[in-house]
Amino acid sequence: GEWEGFVAVVNKKISAQFGELVTKSKELISLLPWPKEFEKDKFLKPDFTSLDVISFAGSGVPAGINIPNYDEIRQSEGFKNVSLGNVLAAAYGGGASERLSFIKDEDQELYKALVSKSFEVQVGLHELLGHGSGKLFIRDENGSLNVSGGLVCPVTKKRIEELPNYSSNEAYDTKFPVISSSYEECRAECVGMYLSTVAEALAVFGHKEAEDQNNITYINWLHMARAGLMALQYYTPGKGWGQAHMQARYGILQVFLRAGEGLVTLRKCTDDKDGKPNIEISLDKTKIHTVGKDAVGDFLMRLQVYKSTGNFEAAKAMYDEFTEPNEEFKALRGTVLDRRSPRKLMVQANTYIDQSGQVNLKTYPATPEGMIQSFQERYN
């Protein structure tokens, strides 16, 4: 872990949009694929703000933040969300001239045009309705559970009282060692994927026409499939995963592939531009709302049920099954590594006060030299 801090200004227009998402949150959460008993007794509406970052101090700059990270506090006291809008724009801005890896030629133009907008939708749903949803079943000091008696688990078919659940002094992070961070990110990502098929959710982000909604959903799912494949960069045979979000996205790619019926296919090929081994991702747009939503919904329901009931043993067995690459994907990892792009560097601006007392913003070239100069002048 590390300390981090940032300075930002509120984007009032986008924040108003997120405010509408908060208003509709109870309605949208009711659409999630688990029984109502597995949802919080009362959704504590959070603050959800869009910020444009002036300066972010830390080893990396996230696209969104949900705080606090403690489920027991989120369940009883509430939480806050922020979306870092200009980080999204910088990281996923469209119009890139280079050909993007693993995306078919016929999808390149649409992907570049909409990936930033689709990821804005994903981040909003992920942070607010992903991390903000779901209930933990906790026994108090007298052994009573915070759920009505007689409830049957939809996965194990056992009565909830027979499952591990949580004692009053247990937390999710300690109950789910090793996988807690990645598992929770996977759950939140799946909430985003699932709800990105819902017209009412897309309309909140300004996507109100049917064609626009279908395109946003398509690119969001295609982006997740690509992210899952590219995640193999962060997997080392014999050591495991080096990044929680990447393990989660690889797992979601496996959900897509195992859904079958041609929802997502990966085609090994030789690139006609450079003659090197390549992989092409195909996503059947017509099956997202049926085959895809059903598969993600079933996986998401199991993620939530195991988390709610504190069933670490079952959760880990399932999660390992979906996130441990088999020999086929270990072989594909070589192609992914060969085609990885240099890691993007976030060059941040600085503010300064001129001789007249006015505050000015100074930007720097998008180069390693520009990043170093920015750091020098920020901390000098």
pTM: 0.87
Banded pLDDT at 201 (limits 50, 70, 90):
very high
d(CA 50, CA 129): 16
DSSP string, 84-99: EHHHHHHHH-S---SP
Strands 235-236 and 240-241: antiparallel
Query: CB 69: neighbour CB atoms within 10 A?
Result: 15
Catalytic residue among 39, 120, 127, 185: 127
Respond yes or no on whether the N-terminal peptide bond of residue 68 is cis (omega within 30° of 0): yes
Reduced to 3 states, what is the DSSP secondary structure of residue 143?
coil
How do residues 27-36 score in pLDDT, each as one tens digit? Answer: 999 999 999 9
Q: Which pLDDT belongs to residue 96?
A: 58
Strands 350-353 and 277-283: unpaired
Sign of CA dihedral 295, 296, 299, 304: negative
Residue 198 has pLDDT above 90, yes or no: yes
How do residues 86-106 score in pLDDT, each as one tens digit? Answer: 887 777 654 456 789 999 999
Q: Which pLDDT belongs to residue 45?
A: 72
How do residues 121-180 score in pLDDT, each as one tens digit? Answer: 998 899 889 998 999 999 998 888 998 878 999 999 999 999 999 998 999 999 999 999
106 is catalytic: no
The residues, ordered by sequence, that sit 6+ positions from 315 with a Cβ below 8 Å of its Cβ are 176, 179, 183, 303, 306, 307
Which residue's structure tokens are 């004692």? Answer: 167
Sign of CA dihedral 87, 92, 95, 99: positive
How do residues 245-262 score in pLDDT, each as one tens digit? Answer: 999 999 999 999 999 999
d(CA 63, CA 223): 15
